[in-house]
Structure 1
Amino acid sequence: MRRLIAVFAAIVLWSLWVLCILLILPVLLNVPGEATLGEIALWLAVLGAVVTYPILLPVLAALKAWAGRKSKPTLLAAIHTVIWGAFIGVVAILATLAGAFYAHEQALPVLSREEGFTNSYANAILRQDTAWMDRILKEGAPVDHPMSLGNTPASMSAGFGDWSLVLFLLGRGADPDRKDDEGRSVRTLAARPPAPPRNPTEALALDGVRALLSNR
């Protein structure tokens, strides 16, 4: 009975081992860029190791126990060597995987401070988040930080019809007359919006922007 419980516990533990390691595979398969032959070989080695090792180890343990009972020292030593060799092989594969992850992270480009501001502003506009905008400004980003196509955060927000963001940025000193590559500015976009405000909040914010610009 104890032996059955021990076998069952071992199966459960090794099943959890396989499950946990296999959870890595979707991450591996979604690493940006085209996989190299070396990466494909590594992923297959990981898959093979985590699947076969839990199956192979109980078999080897059973053979080791049988060889011990039958007093076969040569076979016992060979099985012992295979067990440790399999363990070292799995550890080597996982260590190689860890090294590949580290190398991938080290190869990622490091954004400059200005590129970080650009990405942060773009994300804040995408989320329509004035609190995020406020944090970016407190980090030292210019309120008229240059974005794509000659835009500033304010003119980009105006182009998307995010008038709440525009009103917030104008309150922080954004230039309403700075033109993008197409000659548009916050002032011209407020006078002739590309589309009607999408909700009452943005309509009210547009009125606020126009009122603010009338005094400038």
Structure 2
Amino acid sequence: MNAQTQRFLIDGPVGKIEVALDRPDGAPRGIALVAHPHPLFGGTMDNKVAVTLARTLVQLGYVTYRSNFRGVGQTEGEHDNGIGERDDLRAVIAHMRAQPGQSDAPLVLAGFSFGTVVLSHVAAALCEAGEEIERMVFVGTAASRWDVAPVPDNTLVIHGEIDDTVPLAAALEWARPQELPVVVIPGAEHFLHRKLHLLKRIVVDAWR
């Protein structure tokens, strides 16, 4: 992401997991994990939407981690349709919690597309185990193709108006029974081409 980004490997359930870490200037307000889009369609932790989410969370004061899903970059294992990937993200969160000063830091989870699917189930398991999540940010929630679990009611849901990968209607249908507001970016497609500045603004405004 920048010259200060640290990249390293941690042990996961089926092998090594590649992780990127960025730190804010000054004392951190919490920790954050960003999950990337579908690996079989070129998704990596360096995807521009995932990077924009990470940069924004760093700017907001969070020690921010990204990790590659199975079979991407240096992460070992094979794509597991979002099931084994949940265990991998749990391993990354355990690593985050094990770092000095981060055992009880506020936790933010942010995902784009396929990343929202995996994170939704990770969040449900964390909540069931009694772990608090300060906030979640979902961009391009992949509700048209996957089983996206319900999320906490303060989740920030952002979607492109003309998303042809996950139609806006599918995101609204998923959000409706949860009474979750959906922030729509006018004229934006799935990858938010030329709209990333708006994504950043929406996230920053939500924290104000």
Same fold, judged at TM 0.5 (above): no
Query: Larger RCO: Structure 1 or Structure 2 (Cα < 8 Å, ≥ 6 residues apart)?
Result: 2
TM-score, normalization by structure 2: 0.26
Greater strand percent: which structure? 2
TM-score, normalization by structure 1: 0.25
Bigger Cα Rg: 1
